[in-house]
Structure formats: structure tokens, C-alpha cells
Structure 1
Amino acid sequence: MRYEIEVEVNFVLERGKTRPAYHQSYEILRDKILNGDIPGGTKIVEERIAAELGVSRTPIRESIRKLEHEGLIVGKKVVKPTETDLRNMFQVRIILEGYSAQCAASYLKEKELQALQRCVEIGKTGTMDEIMSANEQFHEIIVQASHNPVMIDIIDRMQSIIYLFRRTVVFYNRPFLIEEHEEIYEAIKNRNGQQAENLMKKHLQADLDFCLHLIGNE
């Protein structure tokens, strides 16, 4: 079944803003994809989006190109990752973030360790949006600890797709998610790099298994 995007009138770009139409249209489309307002498999029609957002097709075309680079649009449709896509992405994350966790145990300073601890605490008591943000920050702090710009760039380019799956594990309340974060934090704080790496790999594998289970039950 082919879907066509419908963007509500209240998302029409506001006149008089200083940011280019490209940035505004890109952010609107990206946020609606990430929030699930535009479901996977939706056909992206340039002419219709341009008309509803009140801009020419050029900024829409540029927005789509950027979303394609981020992996959110494939073949003019909103991405609907397959089981193979999911496994491939998590395989990369398991390798890179496992190594980053080992680095974090060696290099994170006290201020960063405190930030990790705050992420864990928010995970226990925060709202869904707060938990989502804390989850993202937790992994970001650890990835940055690798001090490897190539690895960091690879993860950065995957962030939009990672967000989709992060929302899944938070929204469906994956068991032991925050407890695993706390174990990783404790290993990093205790400067046990090997344990931190092993725990991070187990954590991401559990995320993968959970998402695969949901896909299998759709």
C-alpha cells in the first residue's frame, strides 16, 4: 500500500523567520518522521510538501537529500528498517560503543562521570521525554570518550535511525534498560574497562533482541 504524506496546516512555515526555508522544512520533516507522525513506508511527494509548507520545491528537495543521507528516507519513502537493517546497524554499534565504553573507563573525568550518573537517575524517575534525552546523553558521553573522530562521525551519521529504535525501547519499557545503564556507569567509575565494554555489548544486544521481538510480533 502506498501512502502520501499529509502535513497539518499548523506546520506551515512561519513567515518572517530568518532561517532558510531549507532548514525549516528539513526540521519539520525530520521531527515528524522521528515522532512517528509520518510512518515508515510513507511516500514523500515533493510537490505536495512544497505546497503545504508554502515553499518552492528546491528547499524540499534539499531537505529530502539530507534525510536520505541520514537514512530516514530511502527511495522517496520514509525508511521502514528490515530485520537485516536492524542487525547490521546494531552490529556496528556493538563494536564501536563497546570500545568506547572501555575508553570511557580510562579517560572520563569526574564531571563527565557525574553527568553519566545523572542520566541514570533521570532514567529511574523521569518522564518519557526526559528518559529519551538522558538515554541519548548517556551514550553520547561514552562515544565521545573514544576520542576517535572517525568512530564518532560514524555514530553521528546513524543518530536519526538510532533515535527510532531508542524510542522503541523506551516507549515499550524494555526490562532492565536503566539497570544496565547503571551497571555500565559503575564499571566506568571503577575504571574497569573490560567489564564496561562487555556490559555495553550485552546492553546493545538486549536492545537488538527486544526490537527484533517487537518486529516479529507485528
Structure 2
Amino acid sequence: MLESNRSRPASHQSYEILRDRILNGELPGGTKIVEEKIAAELGVSRTPIRESIRKLEHEGLIENKKVVKPAEKDLRNMFQVRILLEGYSAQCAAAYLKENDLQSLHQCVEIGKTGTVEEIMEANERFHEIIVGASNNPVMIDIIDRMSSIIYLFRKTVVFYNRPHLIDEHEQIYQAIKARNGEKAEMLMKTHLQADLEFCLHLLS
């Protein structure tokens, strides 16, 4: 049941609940989304549920009223976009990132070494967000933002299954950015994301 809150419309609350259920695995890939059932469960009309589904379709989490179960081709296509955009962003970060953001990057790396799984997940997300933000390109940032829910699913995979060298690679990327070596930062980011892709593909096989 949704909470009664005038400042947060039913469609937004419904969207958050559905998204969280998909991201935490409660609604696994392939699950059929039935508007009537969810509307009854949350105590709302079908209209906010329909709006929520539309937004989740836009984010790539739902397709044809089912929770997505990405195939190898989908994975490769998405990571190809990430490799291009985040590689470029890492180069920008080396040129333009301010000192306070450099400190935040370093903090993300340190949390990755000692934090809980949840803390590492958050630090991983923040690490990539800071670097993408350094592009200062709203179109690129929007593209990555729209992919963020799908990216979260894969990020959860590499963290929960403890991909080897994940934090070491973050450390190397950070060091290259700190040294203002854009070419090296771009190369390391591309290699890092390619390793994420291969790891996810291995788990799918």
C-alpha cells in the first residue's frame, strides 16, 4: 500500500516500488507485469501503474510488459555505449576534475577496499557518476542516466559475485585522473568496462 503523501504522486511512488523490486531481484527477469494485480496490491488505480510501467520501459527495465532478461547481444550493445561515453568522460575528468571531486573519487576507492557490499555498491556508483559528470555534457549524462537502472543490475552482479581486480582498476583509473593523464585514464576505463562485460557474459553462459 502506498503512503499518503501529496508531495509524491502515486505514479512516482508506484514507479519507485516497482523499480526497487526489479533491482533487488524480487521481480526477476521474465516476470510478467500485470497492471490490475499491482494496482490492487498498492491500492491505486491502473493509471499510475501504467505511467510507472512506461517510465520503466524507457529505462530498459520492462519490455512488452515483462521484466527484462538481457541477452548477450543486449549486454554487448549497452556496454559498447558505456565504453565510448565513460572512456571519453575519464579523459575529461583528467583534464577538468576539481580537487574536491578528486578527493571524493579517492574516498570511493577506499570504501571499495573495506566497505560492506551495500557500501561498495554505492561507492562504485558514485565513482562512475563523478567521472561521467566531468564530461560536462548534458546529453551524454542523460544517456547514462537513462541506462542507470540497467547499469545497476550489472554493477550488482560484479560486486556481489566479487569480480577480481574491480577495486584495483578503480584505483588505477583514479591515479591516472589525479596525474592528469587523460589518455591513460580513458584506456583504463575502457579496459575496466570491458572486463565488467566479460565477467557478466561468463555468468550468463
Alignment match of 1:66 (pick from 55, 66, 70): 55
Question: Which residue is 2:5 aligned to?
Answer: 17
Could you tell me how far 1:17 is from its partner in structure 2? 2.1
1:160 partner amino acid: S
Aligned mates of 2:9, 2:193 — CA distance in 1? 38
1:32-52 deviations in Å (ceiling 9; x for gaps): 101111000000000011111
Aligned mates of 1:113, 1:146 — CA distance in 2? 14
Aligned mates of 1:13, 1:100 — CA distance in 2? 39
Alignment match of 1:166 (pick from 144, 155, 168): 155
Residue 43 of structure 1: SS of its match in structure 2?
coil
- Once the two structures are superposed, the pairs formed by residues 36-115 of structure 1 within 5 Å of their partners are 36-115=25-104
1:83-103 deviations in Å (ceiling 9; x for gaps): 000000000000110010001
TM-score (norm 1): 0.92
Question: Which residue is 1:188 aligned to?
Answer: 177
1:136-167 deviations in Å (ceiling 9; x for gaps): 00000000101111111111110010000000
Question: Which residue is 1:204 aligned to?
Answer: 193
Aligned mates of 1:183, 1:215 — CA distance in 2? 28
Q: Which consecutive residues of structure 2, in runs of 5 or more, have no partner in the other structure?
A: none
Q: Would you identify which runs of 4 or more consecutive aligned residues in structure 1 move more than 2 Å?
A: none
Residue 37 of structure 1: SS of its match in structure 2?
coil
Could you tell me how far 1:183 is from its partner in structure 2? 0.2
Question: Which residue is 2:118 aligned to?
Answer: 129
RMSD between superposed Cα atoms in Å: 0.6
1:87 partner amino acid: R
Aligned mates of 2:97, 2:71 — CA distance in 1? 36
Is structure 2 residue 204 aligned with structure 1 residue 215? Answer: yes
1:49-105 deviations in Å (ceiling 9; x for gaps): 111111000110011011011110000000100000000000000011001000100
2:142 partner amino acid: D
1:159-198 deviations in Å (ceiling 9; x for gaps): 0100000000000000000000000000000000000000
Could you tell me how far 1:23 is from its partner in structure 2? 1.1
TM-score (norm 2): 0.98
Q: Which consecutive residues of structure 1, in runs of 5 or more, have no partner in the other structure?
A: 1-11
1:156 partner amino acid: D
Question: Which residue is 2:144 aligned to?
Answer: 155
